Amino acid sequence: MFKKLDHPAVYILLVILLGFGIRHFFLGTQVESGGDSSTQALFAATFPDETGRPQALNNYAGKIVVLNFWATWCAPCREEMPELSKLHSAYQHQNVVVLGLAVDDVAAISDFVKETKVSYPLLAADMQGMEIATHLGNNKGVLPYTVIIKTDGSVAETYFGRVTQSLLEKTLKTLL
């Protein structure tokens, strides 16, 4: 019976399971921590807009932020943008901002905005965007991913996949 356990595949499987266990128990608690600590990396970051100008995200601290992680190659991301634009236009004078944080480079976003009108700021975060999304609860690594951040910097709500204006307004109305 123990001779079957002496196979190299068994050792490889044990190492993989050990790795997942360490990630889940030790890193998982850090990734899913709520409140200010999960948004600190976001508000400490600076990313370029579609023209390449750096934009400090700490300019949005103290506002209600609807943060949408997206990419130019993501069809559901592109589909939700008209509703996010409407949401931004409707609430921008109520201390609410919609931000698009792209897992793309500046050139891709620049080309995208030439063909698609978006009323809210779009920033190029490249792969650092997915790292921030993970710290904000995106443990599935999916796009689009949307986070509503309260004025105190804590996370109010998160959404995996395509969102609608009415879905986001349900949370926004409780924060205004």
CA–CA distance, 125 with 13 (Å, rounded to integer)? 35
77 catalytic residue (yes or no): yes
Greatest extent of the chain over all pairs of C-alpha atoms, in Å: 71
List the beta strands (DSSP E) in 37-140: 46-48, 54-56, 64-70, 96-102, 122-124
Active-site choice (71, 74, 84, 172): 74
Identity of residue 101: L
74 catalytic residue (yes or no): yes
CA-wise closest residue to 46 among 124, 159, 109, 119: 124
Active-site choice (67, 71, 77, 133): 77
Task: Write out the catalytic residue numbers.
Answer: 74, 77
